[in-house]
Structure 1
Amino acid sequence: MTALWSSAQCRSGHCASCAGERLFEQPVCADEHELGECPEWACVSCGHAVILGSAQLARPVRRLATV
């Protein structure tokens, strides 16, 4: 995705549904992320949603103890 940042809540990029460059905005975050930190983005033209960022583990990985 190409990125031309215009603000923390707005960017342009390629929308798969519109098949072209469109403006994307961050909707109001239900997960209480800080302003500009939410990975969810929505196309202003069609509403197609994308999640940008790296995956985070929901819980720590348990390591096997070796003796």
Structure 2
Amino acid sequence: MTALWSSPERRSERCVSCAGERLFEQPPCFDGHEPGECPDWACVECGHAIMLGSAESIRTVRRLVTAAA
């Protein structure tokens, strides 16, 4: 994935629907993210949506311990 930043709210990415490098921008965020921090992006030509970034929360994993037979 190419990451050519032009501003915090716009970037160049490969669009699967357009089959080429296109400009993506962040739609208005209703989740309270600061500009440039929202993981939602949309192609300005076709509207194809992608999500970039990492998970914001980490879940604890519990390991099941069993007795050996």
Same fold (TM over 0.5): yes
**1:30 offset after TM fit, Å?**
1.4
Look up the match of 2:30: 30
SS at match of 1:34: coil
TM-score (norm 1): 0.83
- What is the Cα-based RMSD across aligned positions, in Å? 1.9
**1:4 offset after TM fit, Å?**
0.9
Look up the match of 1:41: 41
Percentage of identical aligned residues? 66
Query: 5+ residue gaps in structure 1?
Result: none
Between the aligned partners of 1:62 and 1:18, the Cα distance in structure 2 is 39
Q: Does 1:4 align with 2:4?
A: yes
Could you give the per-residue CA deviations for residues 10-67 of structure 1, whole angstroms, max 9, x where no partner exists?
011100000001000000001110111000000000000000011233x742646x9x
State the AA in 2 paired with 1:34.
E
Which structure has the greater CA radius of gyration? 2
Look up the match of 2:60: 61
| 4+ residue segments displaced more than 6 Å | none
